[in-house]
Amino acid sequence: MTLRGKKPEPKERRLKMFVYGPTNAGKTTRAIQFPHSYIIDTERGSNEYSESINKAGSVILQTSSIDEIRQELLTLTTEKHEFRTLILDPITPVYEDVQEKWTRRFIEYAKSNKERDLQDFGPRFWGKVKSDFKGARRLWTGLDMNVIVTAHQKDMYGTGMTKMGVTFDSMKGDDYIFDLVFRVERRGTDTIAIKVKERSEPLTGPKFPDEFIWTYENFKTYYGADIIERPAKPIAMASPEQIAAIAKLLEVVKFDDAMREKWFNKADVEDWSEMTGAQINGCIEYLNKQLKTLGNGGTQ
């Protein structure tokens, strides 16, 4: 069997960061410094900044609906536009909306009043909530745009309700998917970004200092203006024809659930329709090779 490992090629990674901090720390006012931003405002916190937002060439959508946000993210992914940065400010109400959405559905489909009263919001409920929320997370992670997601800050407690520090108020693991995580705080007139996490190349080291004043110019300096200001490129998602083709192939080719799970995990998706066109095409090519090996011909 031939080994398939390849030498890794350097890839230009868009700025993807998660930011949390207390009220009035400056999360919104500093985030909107990024020009040509598509701002999803979930708490109407941008109402007082219309002049700054218009001057920056940015636009606002005010919603906390996970379904509306997912549709906007899909459009930003697949269509040509002028925006460089997605700002989701803050994420906390979106996670609350997902929980409310599935609470309504569980209650709506209960078979009786007694079942509604005794509704089990256990593993099955939380599985639906997490799956729905992660679907939107995958879209903004895959966007060819800078992404700034903010969250409220909350206290973190240990044994005996002893305060251990602070953390973000959102779904567990939200920070894991980001290359950069900052906690912000106000010092005088400045908003200070305190680095909590940075994925970096060991040989070249981190791009950001442990603390710095949040300005757009500083982000350009530390991360690279050529990356931050680069126009977004549309990404083709899996087409209905590709999804139909792979369904037809799977009727013929022996294909176990473990392999399907491996492909889904690699693409970070839960369904064929969430793959990009390039990702699903790679799966189709593999299955066609398997068919040819069996002497059955291929499917386009």
In the numeric block, the tokens 């903004």 are attached to 140
56-109 per-position pLDDT tens digit:
999 999 999 999 999 999 999 999 999 999 999 998 899 889 988 988 888 777
Compute φ and ψ for 82, nearest 5 degrees. Answer: -95, 0
Q: Are 234 and 77 in contact (CB under 8 A)?
A: yes
Phi-psi group of 261: left, alpha or beta (phi > 0 → left; psi -120 to 50 → alpha; rest → beta): alpha
Domain boundary among 175, 201, 228: 228
Is residue 107 one of the residues assigned to a domain? yes
Strands, E, within 8-100: which ranges? Answer: 16-21, 37-41, 59-62, 85-89
Q: Which of residues 228, 248, 276 is at a domain's end?
A: 228
**pLDDT, tens digit, 9 for 90 and up, residues 188-211:** 999 999 999 998 877 778 999 999
Q: Residue 148: enclosing H or E segment and its boundaries?
A: strand 146-157
For residues 21 and 148, membership in a common domain is answered with yes
90 belongs to a structural domain: yes
Position 142 scores a pLDDT of 86
Domain-embedded: residue 40: yes
- Report the distance separating Cα 95 and Cα 133, nearest Å: 7
Query: How does pLDDT run across 141-191, given as a tens digit for each residue?
Result: 889 999 999 998 887 777 777 777 787 877 777 777 888 999 999 999 999
- Maximum distance among all Cα pairs of the chain, rounded to whole angstroms: 73
pLDDT in tens, 234-278: 988 899 999 999 888 888 887 777 888 888 888 878 888 888 898
143 and 271 in one domain?
A: no
Q: What pLDDT was estimated at residue 212? A: 96
State whether 66 and 121 are in the same domain. yes
Do 216 and 279 lie in one domain? The reply is no
Are 14 and 147 in contact by the 8 Å Cβ rule? The answer is yes
Number of domains within the chain? 2
* pLDDT recorded at residue 8: 65
Q: Are residues 153 and 106 in the same domain?
A: yes
- Looking at the fold, whether 70 and 130 belong to one and the same domain comes out as yes
Q: For residue 192, give the CATH number of its domain.
A: 3.40.50
pTM of the model: 0.82
Q: Judge whether 221 lies within some domain.
A: yes
Among candidate residues 170, 193, 228, the one where a domain is terminated: 228
Under 8 Å between Cβ of 35 and 57? yes
Examine the domain organization and report whether 145 and 275 are in the same domain: no
Count of residues making up the chain = 300
Could you list the residue range(s) of the whole structural domain that residue 52 is in? 16-228
Q: What pLDDT, on a 0 to 100 scale, did the predictor assign at position 165?
A: 79
The pLDDT confidence band at residue 297, using thresholds 50, 70 and 90, is low
One domain for residues 87 and 218: yes
> According to the model, what pLDDT value does residue 226 have?
93
Determine phi and psi for 136, rounding to 5 degrees.
Answer: -70, -40
Q: Do 172 and 217 sit in the same domain of this protein?
A: yes
Q: Which helix (H) or strand (E) is 104 found in, with range?
A: helix 92-108
Contact between 164 and 150 under an 8 Å Cβ cutoff? The reply is no
Q: What's the first-to-final CA gap in the chain, in angstroms?
A: 26
